[in-house]
Amino acid sequence: AASLYRNYERDLPYCFNRKEAKDHGEGGSMVGYKPQDGDDVVIVEDVVTAGTAVRETIELFKHVANVNMKALIVSVDRMERGTKDCSTLDELREDYGIAVYPIVTVKEIISFLHNKEIDGKVYIDDEMKSKMEAYLAQYGAKA
């Protein structure tokens, strides 16, 4: 929200959920802007594996206000299989009818960092790449 204001002069409210509701201070389970009926909402997540946190957040919004859940932005799509045969992100698209935008996928990270030296260290060498690909073969969504 701060970057949108600073770079584009878009003054948009934001809020985040707490792990546990508080009964003092601002109180409740959300900090910041209190969503109102009819508000358009975009959820921002760092990483999504099974989608549990996103589902909990969507359920939380249902108890706060009648909002329009527009999109989910995810920093890293781990490309893991959800409860169905598709990826967790595809499952969230399907289950909630929202647009989902990953900034980068784990396969893109592997490709970009494979055998690339950063500050004198290679983080994804051939051995690590093989382990990551084996993990995706076992737990990843079918393409």
Contact 103, 78 (CB under 8 A): no
Picking from 45, 46, 66, 75, the residue whose alpha carbon sits closest to that of residue 57 is: 45
Provide the 10 A C-beta neighbour count for residue 43: 21
Q: Which of 19, 24, 63, 121 is catalytic?
A: 24
Residue where the block lists tokens 């594996």: 49
Is 24 an active-site residue?
Answer: yes
Q: Which of 22, 62, 116, 131 is catalytic?
A: 22
Task: Catalogue the active-site residues.
Answer: 22, 24
